[in-house]
A and B are shown apart, each in its own frame.
Chain A
Amino acid sequence: MTQQNRLQSGGRIDRSKSLTFTYNGKQYKGFQGDTLASAMLANGVNVVSRSFKYSRPRGIVAAGAEEPNAILQLGATEATQVPNVRATQQELFNGLVSQSTNGWPNVDTDVMSVLGKVGGKMMPPGFYYKTFMFPESLWNTYESLIRKAAGMGRSPLENDPDFYDHINQHCDVLIVGAGPAGLAAALTAARSGARVILADEQSEFGGSLLSTTEKLDGKPASEWVSAVTEELRSYDDVMLLPRSTVNGYHDHNFVTIHERCTDHLSDIAPVNQARQRLHKVRAKWVVLATGAHERPLVYSNNDVPGCMVSGAVSTYINRYGVVPGNELVVTTTNDYGYQSALDWHDAGRKVVAVVDTRANPAGERVDAARQRGINVITGSAVIDVQGSKRVSGVSVAPISADGNKVSGSVTKLSTDTVATSGGWSPVIHLSSHTGSRPIWNDEIVGFVPGPTVQKQLTAGGINGSYNTNSVLSEGLEAGLKAVAEVGLNAAEVILPIAEDVKEGAAMTLFHIPHVKPTSQAPKQFVDYQTDVTAAGIELACREGFESIEHVKRYTAMGFGTDQGKLGNINGMAVAAKALNKTIPQTGTTIFRPNYTPITFGAIAGRNCGALFDPKRYSAMQMWHVERGAKFEDVGQWKRPWYFPQAGENMQQSLDRECLAVRDSVGILDASTLGKIDIQGKDAREFLGRIYSNAWAKLAVGKCRYGLMCGEDGMVFDDGVSACLGDNHFLMTTTTGGAARVLEWLELYHQTEWPELEVYFNTVTDHWSTLTISGPNSRKLLAELTDYDLSNDNFSFMDWKQIKVAGVPARVFRISFTGELTFEINVQANYGTHVWEKLFEAGAKYNLTPYGTETMHILRAEKGFIIAGQDTDGSVHPFDLGMGWCVSNKKPFSYVGKRGMNRQDCVRDNRKQMVGLKTKDPKMVIPEGAQAVLDPNEPIPMKMVGHVTSSYWSANLGHSIAMGFIKGGLDKMGETVYYPLVDGTVIEAEICSPIFLDPKGERQNV
């Protein structure tokens, strides 16, 4: 393959390092230092995509982040597919494989192109807006149609082989952009001893200086760039981040940087190297030195491949040694536009003409063009372009002095490339991420950053300063300001001096007139990526959309992945003209993170696979795993759910586990229960204020169950607390409620009752809790201790400090199953030891491990609630039939008392917790099923409650359920119905929720 557009010399590429790459299945060659875009242009690739709506062929327009068309799919294998890559930012590497995405089946022969002409009518501007007015159900249909037709790229179907990194950073000064302004700022800050991060999205620092022919101190600008970069590298407190896009600017100077660590090396990252890294930076000061994007002019057929922005043409020539065509016509409103003609001419190719909208351009670049014999056509513009897959010629016409109409006859020029310059738009995106609204500056014909509450400074092109000397000194000033703000003494920095190029005044013009009115002229594109035209914007204005925010939503302008970097200002100008307003009167333009698209990998970082979310384990986890436990998520905890034996399904396991507990003895790992150590002489008083029941008389050595309510009177947690010493309690909470309850206690202590002498500390992880439950639990425990476990010596609701299997333990005689139960608490380092000793001794009692599901069934047989399952924040203790757990004798108005007595809480017919016994004992009502009194009532039926807990009880031989029924406590024996989605209706009788051992004899033996 020849690189027909490659120059023999010049540029920053390494011609000794040839690289092979593939685009749409065809192999090409480029050089080290190329971007994918520069290599494609070197090889004469014209078409890189098909447009979104009209399916028009599109070529490369720009040379950086603003590129709207060259959005490619990368990846040599299925697993390494990456969509949404801008060819202008992707560095070339050997073996790179790329594909165009838009267009079907490929960009050169597009079946949609026939439809394309129709497509304009199929999807006129306002398509989105109008579609949203359809019933929502249709939206899915439209969306898939659009996506299919547009081809937005695709995600891989296999796992990404690479890993992605997240890192936290801190600095005094973060400088965004390493062009002349950024480098000057960084040098000043670094020399003064500040902690500096300098980030730039390009592969090397220098920004505009990398593609200029301009000299600094009479030497190539790149020499200054190298010297500064080298000095910066020598400071310990300076972090240099090339290939790093500052993507988001958030509150309090929190900034995210997307670094592409190895994207430039190969399809898959080298071993043990992260592919990309997301830096989360907290910067004391941020200097935005993000430069400016050149604005193309809006003229007919300005999207034909070969139409480029002028600065990009210069960049391809000067930086990459690529002249992207044979003949050039420049159409410009300003002096800078001449630069591409000069560079093109100096590269030895033909400049057909520079067409300048100004009648009398005067400036050094204009003179230089004339001196080279370049044909300068003044007071005119390119109004139309010929060609389909590549420019073949242009129509040039004189235009009126106000730029509003064609004022003379049209001539045609033959050319394959058009460079355009309508001036520059400062890259203000980051400054608006935090909500600062940009303000219009007439002098520079663009938006500049508006007032902000962030500690933000700006320098260079972002301020509309384009003269190299002013850019450098603004950088220096920003550096000095930042250094002073962080309290450092400024070091001396002497800036290099650029040759001053005299420039003539630019003309303010965005939309080039055509001989036909805009609505009838060939399409004049404003936003390439979303196919928005000047005519489309005028239509939006005619339809009554006056604010630019509405125009954007109507037309989708700026809604592409490029956020309309090239087109937004032109679009506002077209709208302003149509509305007879100024640009700032139509509104402003706001950008949101991210500045350029970011991969899902970079967003996810390490937070995938096993690290997706923390998993919490008890000390006995390995034992559970080895016994084949199935696990259930309870908050972040992984708790054994049930322990299936070979050949068992879940229900069979549960039946076996339930029967074992009631017949002999089972063991539950209850270590996950929240545990809070409470010390202080007012601990008891505090408990009395937080729990709904009484605590004043609980003796040392005793335990008590408590309900915790919010100030509204609604139950939010429960658990058993034990009196360890006069001034010492151990509170247990639900597994999921542990952190919340501790914070709740601290809230009341710190903000309401600081006078109470009490301290709270979490000991959840410190204790392993091994619960043995069942009629044989005493015999089992007796095998491991000498202590007298008799009911007389160790009664129900006692706790004892004893040794179990040689390990000091606190054993609580409390029960959540209704069986004789001992909760053995040992320091977690000894949990597994005691657990295993229990199994050694327990074989003869058929000691059976059981999980959370069996625990749920056993407690439901006893009618015990689970806070969070049977409560939902709208039920108070009386609703639960737990008035026995509310004390009205306590002198202090405890949390929840007043709330419980609100009018709404004491009214009749509240939903109350009851038991439910199905008429067909085999039917298990689904949890969440709604109760009705009359199953034949027409829909909508009157719902009187719902089921909160429902199981098959192997012990009872029938299903059991708990749930709420309006006025349920007065409806014992009545029938309710549960109509299910599949049409069946389950009939159930309201009963007591205590299905087994209502007198509590089994636990008290």
Chain B
Amino acid sequence: MFHIYCPHCAEYREEEEFHAAGQAHIARPLDPEACSDKEWGEYMFFRKNPRGIHHELWVHAAGCRKFFNMTRDTQSYEIKEVYKIGEKPSVVAE
């Protein structure tokens, strides 16, 4: 059970208030029609599965309903930081 700081509510809440929404920073191609099947497939289906630092998209589903990003260590489960949509992570894998 994670303890997650919501950057919008500005306090820690229990994991059960949140939904994980997959890998963060997957931008929708601006011109999908210009994408080859391979490119579209990359966007649609391929995700990282790192051991260690990972950037994830979460939503405070039972709270403010806002999405935000989280940098998390998938091995230790430490949450290194949370940051709002549009912001860049400050903790990144080496």
User: Which residue of chain B lies nearest to A903 when distances are taken between CB atoms in the complex?
Assistant: B37
Q: Which of A738-771 contact B (CB under 8 A)?
A: 743, 746-747, 750-752, 754
Tell which of A743, A750, A893, A898 touches B19, judged by Cβ atoms closer than 8 Å: A743
The CA-CA distance from A754 to B79 in the complex, in Å, is 26
Contact A750 B40 (CB under 8 A): no
Tell which of B3, B27, B33 touches A282, judged by Cβ atoms closer than 8 Å: B3
Q: Is A250 an interface residue (CB 8 A)?
A: yes
Known: A743-B61, A746-B65, A750-B66. A893 touches B40 (CB 8 A): no
The CA-CA distance from A253 to B41 in the complex, in Å, is 40
23 A-B pairs in the complex with CB atoms less than 8 angstroms apart? A252-B1, A254-B3, A282-B14, A435-B76, A712-B44, A743-B59, A743-B61, A746-B67, A747-B59, A747-B67, A750-B67, A750-B85, A751-B85, A752-B28, A754-B85, A893-B31, A893-B32, A893-B33, A898-B35, A899-B40, A902-B37, A902-B40, A903-B37
The interface of chain B, by Cβ under 8 A from chain A, is 1-3, 14, 19, 21, 27-28, 31-33, 35, 37, 40-41, 43-44, 57, 59, 61, 65-67, 76-79, 85-86
Q: Is A897 an interface residue (CB 8 A)?
A: yes
The CA-CA distance from A712 to B28 in the complex, in Å, is 12
Contact B66 A453 (CB under 8 A): no
Distance to closest chain A CB from B52 (angstroms): 13
Query: How many residues does chain A have at the interface if contact means C-beta atoms less than 8 Å apart?
Result: 23
Distance to closest chain B CB from A109 (angstroms): 49
The CA-CA distance from A711 to B22 in the complex, in Å, is 15
Known: A747-B67, A754-B85. A453 touches B40 (CB 8 A): no
The CA-CA distance from A754 to B66 in the complex, in Å, is 12
Distance to closest chain A CB from B49 (angstroms): 18
Contact A253 B3 (CB under 8 A): yes
The CA-CA distance from A754 to B35 in the complex, in Å, is 23
Distance to closest chain A CB from B44 (angstroms): 6
User: Which residue of chain A lies nearest to B32 when distances are taken between CB atoms in the complex?
Assistant: A898
Contacts of A252 in B (CB 8 A): 1-3, 77, 79
Contact A453 B67 (CB under 8 A): no
Q: Is A970 an interface residue (CB 8 A)?
A: no
Distance to closest chain B CB from A445 (angstroms): 29
Contact B32 A897 (CB under 8 A): yes
Contacts of A712 in B (CB 8 A): 44
Known: A254-B3, A752-B28, A902-B40. A747 touches B21 (CB 8 A): yes
Q: Is A251 an interface residue (CB 8 A)?
A: yes
User: Which residue of chain A lies nearest to B30 when distances are taken between CB atoms in the complex?
Assistant: A893
Contact with B along A686-723 (1 / 0, CB 8 A): 00000000000000000000000001100000000000
Contacts of A752 in B (CB 8 A): 27-28
Contacts of A899 in B (CB 8 A): 40, 44
The CA-CA distance from A896 to B57 in the complex, in Å, is 21
The CA-CA distance from A254 to B44 in the complex, in Å, is 35
Known: A712-B44, A743-B61, A902-B40. A453 touches B76 (CB 8 A): yes
Contacts of B37 in A (CB 8 A): 902-903
Contacts of A902 in B (CB 8 A): 37, 40-41
The CA-CA distance from A898 to B86 in the complex, in Å, is 25
Contacts of B65 in A (CB 8 A): 743, 746
> A711-B44, A898-B33 are known contacts; what are 5 more A-B pairs with Cβ within 8 Å?
A252-B2, A253-B3, A743-B61, A754-B86, A893-B31
The CA-CA distance from A893 to B40 in the complex, in Å, is 13
Contacts of B67 in A (CB 8 A): 746-747, 750-751
Contacts of A250 in B (CB 8 A): 1
Contact B78 A453 (CB under 8 A): yes
Q: Which of A236-285 contact B (CB under 8 A)?
A: 250-254, 282
Distance to closest chain B CB from A893 (angstroms): 4
Contact B78 A254 (CB under 8 A): no
Known: A898-B40, A903-B37. A746 touches B59 (CB 8 A): yes
Contacts of A435 in B (CB 8 A): 76
Contact with B along A440-458 (1 / 0, CB 8 A): 0000000000000100000
Contacts of B78 in A (CB 8 A): 453
User: Which residue of chain A lies nearest to B13 when distances are taken between CB atoms in the complex?
Assistant: A282
